[in-house]
Amino acid sequence: MQLKLNGEVRDVPDGVTVAGLLAHLGVKAPRVAVEVNEAVVTKDRYDAHALQADDAVEIVAFVGGG
């Protein structure tokens, strides 16, 4: 299925969970946060939250800023 991931359309396994998506992408950093369709998905829900086609997913981290 396709998702909008950080603004770009990407193919991911059907029904993948947030935890599965992060593993698929190779993201191990504990310091990321995930938003699906403009709502934060907290870390305790990564395993349970199954993504659906066309979901808008944002994965963010801290960067330098003022």
Based on the shown chain and the rule CB under 8 A, indicate whether residue 42 belongs to the binding site for other proteins. Answer: yes
- The smaller minimum CB distance to other proteins, of residues 50 and 60, is found at 60
Give me the least distance between CB of 8 and other proteins, in Å please: 8
> Are 35 and 41 contacting, i.e. CB atoms less than 8 angstroms apart?
yes
Based on the shown chain and the rule CB under 8 A, indicate whether residue 33 belongs to the binding site for other proteins. Answer: yes
Work out which of 3, 5, 12, 18 binds other proteins, going by CB under 8 A.
5
- Angstrom CA distances, 30 to 1, 12, 59, 62, stand at 26, 21, 12, 11
Based on the shown chain and the rule CB under 8 A, indicate whether residue 9 belongs to the binding site for other proteins. Answer: no
Two structure tokens written together for 4:
């909008």
DSSP 44: G
